[in-house]
Amino acid sequence: MKITIRRSFVQNIPHIPVLYREVVEAFETIKDGIIIDCTMGYAGHSSMILEANPNIKLIAIDQDQTAIDFSTKRLEPFKERVEIKKGRFSSVIKEILQEYDISEIKGVLADIGVSSLQLDQKDRGFSYESENLDMRMDKDAPLTAATVVNEYSSAELEKILLEYGELRNYKKIVSVIMANRPFHSAKELSDAVKPHMPKGKKIHPATLLMQAIRIEVNDELGELKSLLQSLADAKLPKAKIAIISFHSLEDRIVKQVFSSWTKSCICPPEAMRCVCSNDYALGKILTKKPLMAKEDELKENARSRSAKMRIFQMDI
Ligand SMILES: C[S@@+](CC[C@H](N)C(=O)[O-])C[C@H]1O[C@@H](n2cnc3c(N)ncnc32)[C@H](O)[C@@H]1O
C-alpha cells in the first residue's frame, strides 16, 4: 500500500524521524486500542501514527523534558487521544502495563538512542565539540559523563570502551584518560584521545569513545533489555512490537530476544523429551531481515543510514 506522509511531519522539525514510512506501514492495520511510543522525542513517529490511525489512543514516553515540552505542543491537535509520560521507558512501561487492560495494547514502538537535537545542542554534551561533559538524556538523572570519565576506575572504563565502543586499542585510550583527567568538557577529552583513536574516513575519531560513554550514562542496553523483558512477561495477546536501533549491540539484543520469543519449547538441550508443556512461543517475527532506509530516505536524512527496524507480532 502507498503511504502518504504530510511534508510538515518531516520538515522544519528538530529531528527527522527515521524509517517513518515503514513505521506507519507497520502499525496501519491497527484500527483501535492503544499504541505506545516508548521514545516520543520530537513526536515525528507519534504524530504520523496518530494521523494514520484515527481511532487509536497513543501513550508517548520520553525522559527528556525538552522533548516533552516540544512534543506536548506538537501533539496538541491530537490531544484527546494522547497521553504523555515522562521517565525512562523501562519503568514507565511497567506502570502502563499495570494501569491498562493488556488486551487493549496493540502496538509498541521504540526508536532507541539519541535524537538529532540532543546531538546538535552543544550544551547537552553529546558532541565531541561540547564545552561540558554531560550526555544525560534526562537532565535530572544522577550519572553524568563527567562522573564516568573522571571517577570510574581504569578497569571500569576499559570494560565500557571495549563493550560499548568496540574499540580495539581501549587499553591505550584508558591510559591516556587516566593520565590526563580530570576533564571538564567533551572537547578537552576528544582532543586528548584524538591522536590515539582509529582514523575513520567518515566519522570523527572520538565518535566511538563518545558513544561508549553515552551508552553507559543512559544505561541504554539495560533499558532495552528491561523493556523487552517487561513486554515478554506481560504476554500482550496481540501486540505488534517494532524496535529501531542504531548500534550493532542493540540490534543483536533485539534479534536474539525476538528469536527466543518464537521458541515454543524451553526444555534444556540435553532433555530426552519435552516436559515444559511446549507452549512458550509468544508469536512470530515479521522481519526476517531488519528493515533499513531506502535510497530516497538516505538522501533526505543521512542519519538514517545505520537505523535497523525489527518487528515482532505477539499472538498468544
Ligand atoms: C531517536 S529519538 C526518537 C525520535 C522520535 N521517534 C521522533 O520521531 O521524533 C530517541 C528519544 O528517545 C528518548 N529516549 C531514549 N532512551 C530512552 C529511555 N530509556 N526512556 C525514555 N526515553 C528515552 C530520548 O530522550 C530521545 O528523545
DSSP string, 247-278: SHHHHHHHHHHHHHHT-S----TT-SS--S-S
Ligand 1 and 67: CB distance under 6 A: yes
Residue 4: is its pLDDT beyond 80? no
Mean pLDDT of the chain: 93
Which residue minimizes the CA distance to atom 1 of ligand 1?
A: 115
Q: What is the mean pLDDT of residues 79-101?
A: 98
Rounded to the nearest angstrom, the distance between the alpha carbon of 111 and the centre of ligand 1 is 6
CA-CA-CA-CA torsion sign (214, 216, 219, 221): positive
Ligand 1 and 124: CB distance under 6 A: no
Q: Alpha-carbon distance 258 to 154, whole Å?
A: 35
Residue 32: is its pLDDT beyond 60? yes
3-state DSSP assignment of residue 61: strand
Q: Which helix (H) or strand (E) holds 96?
A: helix 89-99
Burial pattern 131-156, b for ≥16 Cβ within 10 A else e, equals ebbbbbbeeeeeebbbebbeebeeee
- Read off the C-alpha cell for 44: 515525528
Q: Which helix (H) or strand (E) holds 82?
A: strand 82-86
Please give the pLDDT value at position 9: 65
Please give the pLDDT value at position 16: 86
Please give the pLDDT value at position 201: 57
Ligand 1 and 43: CB distance under 6 A: yes
Residue 202: is its pLDDT beyond 90? no
Which residue minimizes the CA distance to atom 2 of ligand 1?
A: 115
Q: What is the mean pLDDT of residues 89-118?
A: 95
Query: Do the Cβ atoms of 56 and 81 come closer than 8 Å?
Result: yes
Query: Do the Cβ atoms of 126 and 206 come closer than 8 Å?
Result: no
Burial pattern 68-94, b for ≥16 Cβ within 10 A else e, equals bebbeebbeebeeebebbeebbbebbe
**What are the C-alpha distances in Å from 44 to residues 121, 138, 278, 300?**
19, 20, 41, 15
Ligand 1 and 137: CB distance under 6 A: yes
Rounded to the nearest angstrom, the distance between the alpha carbon of 196 and the centre of ligand 1 is 32
Query: Do the Cβ atoms of 288 and 272 come closer than 8 Å?
Result: no
Which residue minimizes the CA distance to atom 20 of ligand 1?
A: 88
Query: Using one digit for the tens of pLDDT, what is the confidence trace for 33-43?
Result: 999 999 999 99
3-state DSSP assignment of residue 59: strand
Q: What is the mean pLDDT of residues 15-23?
A: 92
Query: Do the Cβ atoms of 46 and 71 come closer than 8 Å?
Result: yes
Q: What is the mean pLDDT of residues 104-132?
A: 91
pLDDT tier, 285 (very low <50, low <70, confident <90, very high otherwise): very high
Residue 2: is its pLDDT beyond 80? no
Which of 20, 36, 62 should be mutated for ligand 1, with most atoms under 8 A from CB? 62
Ligand 1 and 217: CB distance under 6 A: no
- Read off the C-alpha cell for 237: 495477546
Ligand 1 and 89: CB distance under 6 A: yes
3-state DSSP assignment of residue 139: coil
Q: Alpha-carbon distance 33 to 106, whole Å?
A: 6
Return phi, psi of residue 197, to 5°. Answer: -90, 150
Q: What is the mean pLDDT of residues 166-182?
A: 94
Ligand 1 and 115: CB distance under 6 A: yes
Residue 19: is its pLDDT beyond 80? yes
- Read off the C-alpha cell for 109: 514502538
pTM of the model: 0.94
Q: Which atom of ligand 1 is nearest to the CA of 13?
A: 9
| Cα 185–Cα 190–Cα 193 angle in degrees, nearest 5 | 130
Q: Alpha-carbon distance 201 to 198, whole Å?
A: 10
- Read off the C-alpha cell for 192: 586528548
Ligand 1 and 27: CB distance under 6 A: no
Rounded to the nearest angstrom, the distance between the alpha carbon of 293 and the centre of ligand 1 is 19
pLDDT tier, 172 (very low <50, low <70, confident <90, very high otherwise): very high
- Read off the C-alpha cell for 258: 525476538
Rounded to the nearest angstrom, the distance between the alpha carbon of 39 and the centre of ligand 1 is 4
Task: Please report, in angstroms and rounded to a whole number, the separation of the first and last CA atoms in the chain.
Answer: 27
pLDDT tier, 206 (very low <50, low <70, confident <90, very high otherwise): confident
Residue 109: is its pLDDT beyond 90? yes
Percent of the chain whose pLDDT exceeds 70? 94
Residue 7: is its pLDDT beyond 70? no
Ligand 1 and 48: CB distance under 6 A: no
Residue 60: is its pLDDT beyond 60? yes
Rounded to the nearest angstrom, the distance between the alpha carbon of 124 and the centre of ligand 1 is 14
Which residue minimizes the CA distance to atom 14 of ligand 1?
A: 39
Rounded to the nearest angstrom, the distance between the alpha carbon of 59 and the centre of ligand 1 is 13
Please give the pLDDT value at position 81: 98
